[in-house]
Amino acid sequence: MRVLLVSPVFHGYWSAFDAALAAKGHEVTTHCYDAGGIANAMAHRLPGSSLDRRVRTQATRRAIAALGAARPDAVIVVKGDALGDEWWDALGSTRVRTALWLYDELERMDYDDATLGHVERVFSYSPADVAALRTRGIRAAVLPDGFDSLTAFSVRPDDAVSFVGARYPERERLLRALAAGGERVVAYGREWSRHPWDVLRTRRWRSAGIRTHRDIDRATYFGTMAGSVATLNIHGDGHDGFSMRTFEAPGVGALQLIDRADVAQHYEVGTETLVFSTDDELHEHVQRARREPQWARQVREAGRRRTLAEHTLVHRMGEVMASWE
């Protein structure tokens, strides 16, 4: 099929979605609707402003033009809430197969039922959102996030517990608690970074008091997670779907420490990934990983096998395509 992928830039994941579709044998054209540098970044910080409206209008027009130029058999929209009604009307007026994939909760996005009704099926990583959509008559299905198995990476050894992601209070607290207990920890991302430009743009004036680095690309953080003694995946409250990291960490052969017992729906807890619910459990997992490297290696290998067998983005794109058969 000729597939038009309409996606946000979102840490370059569009390239992983594109490659996964191509691996399934499809001819893919990708349009990143929010590629626009500083204007898009400012508009995101000023929702409802004149700048936000102008950026949204421009993004909508560009997406409609991409739809006309690609002449696709199918369109997959990822997130897409920055696109205006004109886009959804244009998409609904075509006779192509359509799907919308949401990797965030609906409450964090600007969608109504009329808009969602323009696509054949809404896929979401959130089981709760899927259940709610179905009660409102929207065709919806759960599609978890996945691992980009097509990106090559090199393991970056570091005898520390790693964390890659945004700086939220509970994440900072856990990393500081590990450090206070004598563990070596390191966090990656602009909100953790002490680089002057990162401090200025994030306004994170206070240091987290641990070793930190700037943003790193996907291949680098794959290698970072794989090379660390263990890597943290901290969801906190407010999410019932599982983040990309849930599948990426075991996918690269990292020892994942996750704060969600319900990860058992995807992995065997204790043998493919490790769950913690208290600070003490987290410390115990790290200490055992250091004390029993053979055990840790077995968990890493089992988690990687499960991921490659069931949880890659190629698998996820296959599920979308199967819904059209």
Residue 135 and residue 8 in one domain: yes
Residue 69 and residue 113 in one domain: yes
CATH number at residue 247: 3.40.50.2000
Instruction: Say if 59 falls within a structural domain.
Output: yes
Residue 178 and residue 115 in one domain: no
Residue 58 and residue 171 in one domain: no
**H/E element holding 60?**
helix 50-70
Residue 92 and residue 132 in one domain: yes
Take residue 205 and report the two structure tokens written for it.
């004036």
Domain residue limits at 239: 158-310
Residue 301 and residue 174 in one domain: yes
Confidence of residue 46 (pLDDT cuts 50, 70, 90): very low
Instruction: Say if 150 falls within a structural domain.
Output: no
Confidence of residue 251 (pLDDT cuts 50, 70, 90): very high
Are 159 and 184 within 8 A, CB to CB? yes
The pLDDT of residue 50 is 66
The pLDDT of residue 138 is 95
Residue 167 and residue 288 in one domain: yes
Distance CA 292, CA 215 (A): 31
Instruction: Note the pLDDT tens digit of each residue in 198-231.
Output: 999 999 999 999 999 999 999 999 999 999 999 9
Residue 262 and residue 294 in one domain: yes
Residue 133 and residue 13 in one domain: yes
Select from 84, 117, 143 the last residue of a domain: 143
Take residue 35 and report the two structure tokens written for it.
């590629």
Residue where the block lists tokens 């192509």: 96
CATH number at residue 45: 3.40.50.11930
Ranges of beta strands (E only) in 50-191 are 74-78, 97-102, 121-124, 140-142, 158-164, 185-188
Residue 39 and residue 180 in one domain: no
DSSP state of 242: P
Residue 84 and residue 175 in one domain: no
Instruction: Say if 151 falls within a structural domain.
Output: no
Number of domains into which the chain is organized:
2
Name the most confidently modeled range: 116-120, 135-139, 297-301.
297-301
What global pTM score does this model have? 0.91
Distance CA 271, CA 267 (A): 8
Instruction: Note the pLDDT tens digit of each residue in 173-202.
Output: 999 999 999 999 999 999 999 999 999 999
**H/E element holding 229?**
strand 228-233
**H/E element holding 287?**
helix 279-291
